[in-house]
């Protein structure tokens, strides 16, 4: 199979009606914080046990088409010796990998950040492919204030995202492009919409310059929402503002838009996605690529105890099913309390 056909096959496997992505690519410090909340020490074995629990959840492939993994997880095995990427693939879930190396301060731009990890990316991708990864993800973050993000941050992060995407496609790996407009702060929803449009315009200009094939990539944006310190917004408002920003900036050639949850509660993330999918026919499939919004309830059920594995898996399957319904515009708030 040639590279273009391989990329197309991966895109088709990921972009399926009623299915989304499970983001299980938390870095060491992030997963340590989540484990701390449930009284579990973060070490290689506890992380292996948790991610094995997630990927072995019965019926997960009915609602999840792909999983984003951390590089540690690619080399880990389930209790029966099955490599964790193979555990996902067994359920028809495509394994993917987070490839950025995290963010740091952007020199010359106070308050701004840039993501690193391009050095040696092509060689790393070759290794990840051998371990079963078929798609990748790179996250860039944009801080919001009256003045941020500035032109330098917009251009630098867009350039890096586009370079990453081009390298991925040359390696036969589908890139997920994740420009996150952060919710931190007291900015208004209107300011978030303004920044989101500016970010997406810049990103797609850069993707065009780098000759990235839009049909063979996916977008993972944040939703248009007010800053955390500015209150909340109704799902209908989030949906209207987000879809308007997407229509103004995202070419119809992009096959799927998989939203990040970005600090929303599990219920908010599901309700907002559902509201978007009730707006009528759109040029792209709108879906989810949630981390904490999918993992929060199973983590609380698990608490690091082997006796709680089944209960935690039921919680994950239930949350995934609700988001699958939201992809179709069929989610009902009353189903939150429905038993698995």
Which pTM value belongs to this model? 0.97
Given 19, 98, 137, 220, the catalytic residue: 220
User: What angle separates helix 28-37 from helix 292-302, to the nearest 10 degrees?
Assistant: 50
- List the domain boundaries for the chain: 3-335
Pick the CATH number of 3-335 from 3.20.20.70, 3.40.50.150, 3.40.50.2300, 3.40.140.10: 3.20.20.70
Task: Reply yes or no on whether 247 is catalytic.
Answer: no
Phi-psi region of 132 (alpha: psi -120 to 50; beta: other; left: phi over 0): left
Given 178, 202, 268, 296, the catalytic residue: 178
Task: Reply yes or no on whether 220 is catalytic.
Answer: yes
Long-range contacts of 167-171 (CB under 8 A, 24+ apart): 167/118, 167/121, 167/122, 167/125, 168/99, 168/125, 168/136, 169/3, 169/7, 169/212, 169/213, 169/216, 169/217, 170/3, 170/122, 171/122, 171/125, 171/126, 171/129
The dihedral formed by the CA atoms of 217, 320, 90 and 94, expressed in degrees to the nearest 10: 10
pLDDT the model gives residue 270 = 98
Q: d(Cα 326, Cα 258) in Å, to the nearest integer? A: 12
Q: d(Cα 51, Cα 55) in Å, to the nearest integer? A: 6
Tens-digit pLDDT string for the chain (340 aa): 899 999 999 999 999 999 999 999 999 999 999 999 999 999 999 999 999 999 999 999 999 999 999 999 999 999 999 999 999 999 999 999 999 999 999 999 999 999 999 999 999 999 999 999 999 999 999 999 999 999 999 999 999 999 999 999 999 999 999 999 999 999 999 999 999 999 999 999 999 999 999 999 999 999 999 999 998 999 999 999 999 999 999 999 999 999 999 989 999 999 999 999 999 999 999 999 999 999 999 999 999 999 999 999 999 999 999 999 999 999 998 778 654 4
Q: d(Cα 14, Cα 21) in Å, to the nearest integer? A: 8
pLDDT the model gives residue 340 = 43
């Amino acid at each position: 199979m040639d590279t273009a056909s391989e990329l197309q096959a991966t895109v088709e496997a990921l972009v399926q009606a009623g299915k989304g992505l499970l983001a299980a690519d938390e870095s060491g410090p992030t997963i340590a914080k989540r484990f701390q909340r449930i009284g579990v020490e973060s070490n290689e074995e506890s992380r292996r046990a948790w991610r094995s629990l997630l990927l072995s959840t019965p019926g997960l492939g009915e609602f999840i088409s792909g999983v984003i993994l951390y590089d540690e997880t690619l080399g880990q095995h389930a209790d029966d010796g099955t490599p964790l990427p193979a555990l996902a693939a067994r359920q028809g879930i495509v394994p993917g990998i987070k490839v950025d190396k995290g963010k740091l301060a952007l020199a010359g731009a106070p308050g701004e950040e840039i993501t690193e990890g391009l050095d040696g990316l092509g060689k790393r991708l070759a290794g990840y492919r051998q371990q079963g990864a078929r798609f990748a993800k790179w996250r860039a973050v944009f801080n919001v204030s009256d003045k941020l993000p500035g032109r330098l941050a917009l251009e630098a992060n867009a350039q890096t995202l586009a370079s990453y995407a081009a390298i991925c496609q040359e390696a036969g790996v589908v890139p997920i492009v994740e420009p996150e407009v952060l919710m931190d702060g007291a900015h208004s929803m209107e300011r978030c919409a303004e920044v989101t449009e500016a970010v997406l315009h810049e990103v797609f200009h850069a993707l065009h310059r780098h000759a990235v094939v839009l049909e063979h990539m996916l977008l993972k944006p944040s939703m248009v929402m007010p800053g955390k310190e500015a209150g909340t917004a109704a799902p209908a408002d989030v949906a209207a503002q987000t879809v308007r920003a997407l229509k103004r900036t995202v070419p119809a050639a992009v096959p799927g838009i998989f939203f990040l949850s970005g600090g929303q509660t599990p219920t908010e993330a599901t309700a907002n996605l559902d509201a978007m999918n009730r707006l009528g026919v759109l040029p792209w499939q709108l879906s989810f690529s949630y981390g904490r919004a999918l993992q929060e309830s199973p983590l609380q059920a698990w608490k690091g105890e082997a006796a709680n594995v089944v209960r935690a898996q039921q919680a994950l399957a239930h949350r995934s099913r609700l988001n699958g319904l939201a992809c179709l515009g069929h989610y009902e708030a009353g189903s939150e309390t429905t038993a698995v």
